[in-house]
A and B are shown apart, each in its own frame.
Chain A
Amino acid sequence: MRRPIAVQADPFDIESIQPRLNIIRETFGRFLDSISIKTTLSKHGLMGSVGKILSEIRSGRSDAASLKGYALRVQEQSGSQLSTASIKDLESGIEDLVELFTGVPLAFRDQLIDRLDYGLYFDLRKKNLERKEAIIKQWHSFLLNRYAEIEKLNSAWKENHESLGDVMIQKKATGSRSKDATPKQVDVFEFWESVGKGNETLVIEEE
């Protein structure tokens, strides 16, 4: 006689893995912060090699070692140098993700990757916008310190702005400190000098 086998399983709650997912999101976020990004305009550009890893995992590749190799190769091809800490973050993120991914029921795997993918992208985009806003603020306070009043700026630049807040930030390439440079070009050059390296990409691309 056959014996019936009774199985009582609690339904899987995707919220239960969210804390672990958050740790992975932070690890990948830290990794992406530490590498230089060519463009902030596209999702592809912002997510860098992490985006590619997520695509691979989504399509069924769940071998941590091969994913790590693949990610490093992508980074090499993009020409960026990775520090030891960055590599550690990348490795740890991949290992944790593969472990988590293989542990959840099949029906929830896409949701898991979506949460990580869009969650991470949201963080990066937000950070990018915050930096952009901070630089624009710096630009306006730079102009305020230099000119104090809009009339003075209009007269120096030979332009007609209503207020200092209206003056759009200029690309670094438009700045100059040559002999023939206009006051505007000098201002732009000196502003970017004061801001320092690394920050200009995100602003200029979107202006």
Chain B
Amino acid sequence: MIASFDRTSIIANALSWMRARGWHRLLAKRSHFEQSLLEHSLLELDALLELLPTLGLPNHYDFSQQEQEILCVAVLVHDTGKEAPAWQAYVQGKGKKVGHIDLDLTLSVVPEVCAALNLNVNHQHVHELIARCAEFHHNRPARSDGDILAAMFGGATERFQCLAHVVKGIDHLCSASTAADAVRVVRRDAALSNHIKVALHQTKVRGISTVLLHAAAREAFSNHGWKPLLYFKDSTVYVRPAEESEALPPQIQIEQSLRSKIENLLSKDVVGLIIGSPQANILPKPDLVKFEETRSYLRQAANRIGSQSFAKKAMEKRRDVVQKYWVLIGKQTYPSDEEVNSESMNISVAQPEMIVLKAFKALITLCCTSNSAESLAIQLYEQSFGSGSWKHLKSTSTLMPSRDMAELIDPYWILPGTTFGFPAVSRLKQLSEQQRVSALIERLTEIVQGVCTAHGVLSPRTELADKMSSCFVQDLIEPNDASNWQEIAALQEEHYSASKLSAGGLSLKAQYLCPICNQSFSGLSGTKASADFVDKPKSHTNRATSLGSFDSIVICHSCYYEKLLMQLACGEKPQEVIYVIPQLNLGPRHGELLVEKVRAWASAAQLQLSGEGDSSHAFYLNVIQTPARKILDKDPLFLTEAELVSLFMNRISADKQKDRQKKIVVALKEEFDDDLSEVNARSGLTFSSWEEAAVTVLDKSVNLQEFALIRREIFRSANLHLVCETPNLILVPLAREISGVNDESEISKALRKLFIALALGLAFNARVAIKKEGDGLEHGPSAGCAYVAPLPALRALIEAEWIPIPDALMWLRAIGSASLLSRDTKFPERNALFQVLSAAPAEWIVRRIEQASDSGTVTMKQIELIEQLPNFTRRETGGKRL
């Protein structure tokens, strides 16, 4: 019978012991990836604890309680020798090759670890056995006999060899750099393969769809009895007892699971995403349309433009439009200023109706899936708007006030009131603006829904989850029902050569290669990229410009759906995304801990951003002075959850608080029609002034929905979203770019992002990249803690694409110190952060501060900050960076 371990407490205790020893700043692995000694040792302990219930069974190894404890300690200390400075220098390429086996050191830490893990292992010979088991993992076959003999002479049991092989097997499994390698390791190692079966799922890394695909695959594998063992960025290794079936879940089950996850996202309110720009594409995401929601879309369209916006334009511009309008309606005279003003008022008031008609035109086009449906649409439309009106509607394009006024609005306004149920007016023009817009929306909604009902037209959104899941499931590399990689590669090559001619426009017969993900596809499975999805789609690639005209790039459906899904999940188009990924891989329990930690941080941030948090503080990611001040003398890994949450909280100044109060008063008056008694009636309190009510809104002492909405509106700064399902890949999309002053240089912005990435990377013990939405994660291997933006000056300063784990704390402190010094140096704000950080020699900053300050002096605190800068010459390290 196997006694069960309290996995959570063993992992927590192991974490504390390793943190205290500084293993989070030391490396265990470094090649095309990096893993800290803490992460590596913890991963092995985590994997062992997952496997012990199987390995320990009587029909397997039949481990006693003490043997299980021996294994736990042995895997935790197996790489203790790597903490030696000489080995650390070697692994970082700064010293000669040295071994990491140090039996004396391992022996010395074993009693400490036993005590730290609260394990009842006190005998000297057991400690020695643990140390020898730990050492065995690195021995080559010819040398291992020595260890076995030494262990036997030292009083070890005959079980030593078995325990040592399990430690070795676990180490090799967890040291594999990919999931496929891990699976191969287990299958070749009899110490494991006789007892467990392993499988994996692997996917292309795309973004939000990858997060969902990882979750769907995990769900499908779990339903087949597999348990996740190792999480990689692109894959997960699963495990189950050897005697069980090794059947894998079929791809269709993963697809079903993925579809239900996408359906969850689609059930969100997406009305705000449907209507695009009246000047460009009014319906940029037709796939999201649900015809039942037509009324809401048209209302949204009406609100897209103000009824006074045209009237506010300069006289010259208005005159130009009015003149064109007059030509269209057959007036040949030159309008006077008075006439321009009068016509401008009409055009201005008509603009919301113009947008409504544009949105209707796009919706009805979508709805007319057959000729008969179109005939019905024409019939219904002309019944309401008069004969020939359909032709005019179809002939208009993007917003053109003169033409739209002449061809759409004037014919509508002159209709008799009775046609729209207003017998009191002879012409619709006599109605109030609001009544006319509402009547138009109602009639157009009836037409759309009439056509849909009569012809059974399905809304695009009803099929969207199916389409998306069948596209995204093709990203699965393993298990994949039809993966012939040679064929795929040959097809890609063929498409690459053939796609140059057609890269600049959509043609159904053409062959394409997606410029975002390199997938080959035909014109039928492609989408013309619009600015709504891809930044500058017309200048996205230089391919094909020499081969003819270039309109917009064409992207594959998977990339299009990926962009759509991201907007769906966020309810808006995010500007940047924080990616949180494992250093290399994570065990099951530690993976859950990462997910919990990120969720707690993001939820607290969202609570604050929604106005329901602490009203005396605000959450800002773009202000790095505050976290710098809080974090400079600390190691982020030691931050408690509360400290991590409060890292980016800034106290709101008294002036700002007053300003907020004023805004709340305005919002309250608007919400309650300037009637304080209405507020009193709703809240059940007796406020004597609006200011008094505003204080209640701020301090959240009254639980009223209207108050919560006002708070959300007033406190709203940049939204932060969370897409978190499994530890493989976590996304935190940001509504706005992280930036300081408005005209801040790209390099200073990049430094802000790097600081945040470092703080989060160190706190979560993971790799963090902050990138522009759409840039995506790199596909190849990469090593380090935080991603450095590809700006030549920044890369030259940092000398890395990812900041290595051992250097992460140094750079966090350097950027934090530079941010605290930047104000005192009085460099131009847009570039101050970089100028301070790159000052060479850093000691020059003392003079700069003295010259820039009124007192002409520098303080001890500033001296200490300067000492943290990267170009500070440290005499104790021979002038080199720490």
Residues of A near any B CB (own CB < 8 A): 15, 18-19, 21-22, 25-26, 41, 43, 111, 114-115, 118-119, 121-122, 125-126, 129-130, 133, 206
Contacts and interface: CB of A to CB of B under 8 A. Distances in A.
B855 to A, nearest CB: 9
Classify the secondary structure of B's interface with A.
loop
Given A15-B879, A115-B841, A118-B847, 7 more contacts: A18-B873, A19-B878, A19-B879, A114-B840, A115-B873, A121-B843, A206-B857
B873 A129 contact: no
Nearest to B878: A19
B879 A121 contact: no
A114 B846 CA distance: 13
Contacts of B858: 125, 129
A45 B863 CA distance: 19
A103 B858 CA distance: 35
Given A15-B879, A22-B875, A22-B879, A118 B863 contact: no
13 contacts: A15-B879, A18-B873, A18-B880, A22-B879, A118-B843, A118-B846, A121-B843, A122-B846, A122-B866, A126-B860, A129-B859, A129-B863, A130-B860
Q: Which of B850, B859, B866, B879 has the most CB of A within 10 A?
A: B879
Contacts of A121: 843, 846-847
Contact of A129 (B856, B860, B879): B860
Contacts of A114: 840-841, 844
A206 B850 CA distance: 13
Interface in B815-859: 840-841, 843-844, 846-847, 850, 856-859
Contacts of B850: 43
Contacts of A130: 860
Contacts of B866: 122
Contacts of A19: 878-879
Contacts of B841: 114-115, 118-119
Nearest to B859: A129
Contacts of B875: 22, 25-26
Q: Which of A18, A26, A114, A118 has the most CB of B within 10 A?
A: A118
A22 B846 contact: no
A109 to B, nearest CB: 14
A122 B880 contact: no
A26 B844 CA distance: 18
Contacts of B843: 115, 118-119, 121-122
A130 B866 CA distance: 15
A43 to B, nearest CB: 7
A125 B863 contact: yes
Interface in B210-262: none
A129 B861 CA distance: 10
A206 B853 CA distance: 14
A61 B83 CA distance: 50
Given A15-B879, A21-B879, A119-B873, A126 B863 contact: yes
A130 B879 CA distance: 22
Q: Which of A18, A43, A122, A130 has the most CB of B within 10 A?
A: A122
Given A119-B841, A119-B873, A43 B857 contact: no
Contact of B878 (A18, A26, A43): A18
A121 B848 CA distance: 12
Contacts of B844: 114, 118
Contacts of A111: 840
A156 to B, nearest CB: 30
B847 A22 contact: no
A22 B879 CA distance: 8
Contacts of B846: 118, 121-122, 125
A129 B118 CA distance: 49
| Closest A-B pairs by Cβ, 8 of them | A18-B879, A122-B843, A118-B843, A118-B844, A22-B875, A129-B860, A115-B841, A19-B878
Nearest to B844: A118
B860 A22 contact: no
Nearest to B861: A129
A75 B92 CA distance: 49
Contacts of B859: 129
Contacts of B860: 126, 129-130, 133
Nearest to A41: B856
Interface in B277-306: none
A16 B214 CA distance: 50
A22 B841 CA distance: 13
Nearest to A111: B840
Interface string B859-880: 1100100100000010100111
Nearest to B858: A125
A126 B856 CA distance: 15
A19 B846 CA distance: 22
A26 B847 CA distance: 20
Contacts of B847: 43, 118, 121
B752 to A, nearest CB: 27
A99 to B, nearest CB: 18
Contacts of A22: 873, 875, 878-879
A206 B880 CA distance: 34
A19 B873 CA distance: 10
Nearest to B855: A206
Nearest to B863: A126
B867 to A, nearest CB: 9
A152 B676 CA distance: 56
Contacts of A206: 857
A121 B843 CA distance: 8
Nearest to B876: A22
Nearest to A122: B843
A118 B844 CA distance: 5
Contacts of B863: 122, 125-126, 129
A183 B879 CA distance: 51
B852 to A, nearest CB: 14
A14 B866 CA distance: 21
Nearest to A130: B860
B861 to A, nearest CB: 10
A130 B859 CA distance: 10
A21 B840 CA distance: 15
B382 to A, nearest CB: 79
Contacts of B880: 15, 18
A100 to B, nearest CB: 13
